[in-house]
Each structure stands twice: as structure tokens, then as C-alpha cells.
Structure 1
Amino acid sequence: MTPPFPIRKECPPGACDCKRELLENDPQADLRVLRLTKEEEKRLLARIEAIGTYGELMRVGQRLEEQLGVTLKITPGPNEVRTMRGFAIELSPRPGLCRKTRQAVPAAIRRCLEAHPEIAFAILDAHDLFGRPE
């Protein structure tokens, strides 16, 4: 079955753990994740790095969910957050989502957080790490 939109080219055999064959073998599979071609991925990464507010970051996460069916999760790590590496940033694993994409998106978000520390503080605040009085 060929989808009516351009799809991402397959990774070389053994180079990726995306399990794309699960999508190709299932006629009812959700193929939205394959819309993220390499060119679109580059545009997404540039868009993420250009984010200036916490609200924009949340909207990009929401758009990833709507358009690709991929959930973006950004949480403070289990230990204290001293640098941007202290955040746990991950894309939900899905068949067809390339390993490189699962690494590139969190790296772009970290670069964004380093450029805009106020977004990092907003993430911490959203997870109630500043201890709001109730």
C-alpha cells in the first residue's frame, strides 16, 4: 500500500531499530509518522531550536502528537536539574520513528533550553519543583 503523501526513505538494514516493517505489513497501521521525511525533520529541528517560550514548546509537542502521532515528554530527571542534561526528554517509541530522530529532537530541545533558560524554569515550575505554597 502506497500512502498519498511523501514518506521517509527506509534506513539501511541493521542501522535502525524503527520497526518500519510492522507498518508495512499492517494495512490498518497509522502511517502518519512516515510523513517525517529527512527534509521535514530538518525543518522541525530548526523550528524547535527557534522556540522562544514555554507555550511554543508545548504547541510543538501538541503538533507532533496531532500530525505524527508521536508523544513528546519533557520532565525533570530523577536527580536534581543543574544543567539542561538534567531533563528527561523523549519521544514515545513508535514503529517507523527513526532512531536518529528520537535522538535529534531531544538534542534540539536541549539547545533551545540552553538558549532560553526561562523555558527550563517554566518546565520546572510546571512540574512543581519550585514548591508552590497551597
Structure 2
Amino acid sequence: MTLSHLAPLLGGMLIGTGAVLLLALSGRIAGVSGIVGGLYDSPKGDRAWRFAFLGGLWLGGLVLLTLAPELLPRTVPGGWPVALGAGLLVGVGTRAGNGCTSGHGVCGLGRRSRRSFAAVLVFMATGILTALFVRPWIGGAP
């Protein structure tokens, strides 16, 4: 079994461990959209941990790029403009929906939140439908 086969498992374990540690050590939820949103509307004393968390996400990506670049995709289906547009839509949607996949999916489900369960069902259904209809349109595999 190669590293590329273990990468999703290891990544999931790291995300889960990070979410548990953030909750256990600070009582905060590791929802990325809430963390980013709080940079703008939280008191100044509440911003350092947010920058540290986001910096850790960037640092993790840089470590992966340095140590195992073969695990990262070489191309983006549809190109970078489509990826950036999709990212912006996801960001707007997470703020409108009061949470993102990390907040609801990882932390909310772990806390047995009914609201998070409903949100994850909507996220997954929307993602599946979007992939079925949009991916062939942008040139990806059906």
C-alpha cells in the first residue's frame, strides 16, 4: 500500500485530532468559515488563535507540497477560474448556511447536533448533484 492510498485516512485523522484538540483545549469549534468570518467581526483579542489556526492550514499545505508533491493534483478540472469561482460560491454559501463542512461535518456530527446532521445531508446531496451535472460540462469525467 502506497502513501497515496493512505493519504485520505491520515488526512482525516489529522483533521479529527485537530478538531478535538481545539475543542478540548479552548472550547472552540474548528469550523473554517466561522474562523475566517471571525477575523472581521470579533474583538481584537480573539483574532490571534484564528490567524494561528489558518496559518497552520497553510503550513500543512506547504509541508505536503515539500515532502510529497505527488499527492497533490497537477491540474484542476475546468481550470483555475472555475476553481476560484467555485471557492467563492462555497464561501458565500457557508456564511449564508451558518457553517461549513468542517464545522458541521467534523465537529457538529461529533457533538451529535441535529442541525449539523441536516446540514451535512444538504451539503452531500448538493455536492453529488453538482458533480453529476457540472463535471461533464467542464470536461471532467462523468
- What TM-score does the superposition give when structure 1 sets the normalisation length? 0.31
Which of the pair is proportionally richer in helix? 2
Q: Which has the higher strand share?
A: 1
